[in-house]
Amino acid sequence: MSACPVNDMSKNKKKDKPQSSTVATNRKARHLYHLEDKFEAGIELTGCEVKSLREGRASLQEAYGEVSGGEIFLVGAHISPYDQGSYANVDPIRKRRLLLHKMEINRIASKVQEKGYTVVPLRIYFTRGKAKVEIALGRGKKLYDRRADMKEREAMREIERHMKSRNR
């Protein structure tokens, strides 16, 4: 018999998914908006802002996207000043340019011009060492939509409780 090398699956190099660490999330976004299209955008930051983000000091509570002059800006996002920074620290709530492809910008701009659509930031995270923002096109929910969602969540929790107690 001839000696054939055995294909060992453990020796094959697997391509690992890039590690992404979430810095800040906008938890209210899914509650207040019907989210439709999602986009991943780069964000233009200064060095001190990046260091502050790595420490996890950011908030998207009152942030939104604004389309102007063929560009999209993140407005109202709060990135705290870096503690060890000096004169390089900038305004924590300044407008920050989002980096997207031209076709994506045009698509978002055309939707925002329609009545009721807005650009909603969902989370800020790092992928391969680069800061990214996940944004979505959202249409505001009416009060009765929000109440219906809360009733649905409540019903699902109740079902889960009954199933859990039944399986014991």
51-98 pLDDT, tens per residue? 889 988 899 988 999 999 889 999 999 998 888 877 767 888 899 999
Interior angle at CA 35, CA 30 and CA 36, nearest 5: 160
Nearest CA to 100 among 83, 117, 119? 119
pLDDT tens readout for residues 135-162: 999 988 888 878 888 888 889 998 888 8
Class (C level, CATH) for 20-166: mainly beta
Rounded-to-10 torsion of CA 144, 64, 69, 98: -130
- Give the model confidence (pLDDT) of 104-123 as tens digits: 999 999 989 887 789 999 99
For residue 144, the number of C-alpha atoms closer than 13 Å in the C-beta half-sphere is 0
User: What pLDDT digit, counting tens, does each position of 8-41 carry?
Assistant: 444 555 455 556 688 888 888 888 888 888 999 9
Domain boundaries, the chain: 20-166
Buried b / exposed e over 137-163, threshold 16 CB at 10 Å, is: bbbebeeeeeeeeeeeeeeeeeeeeee
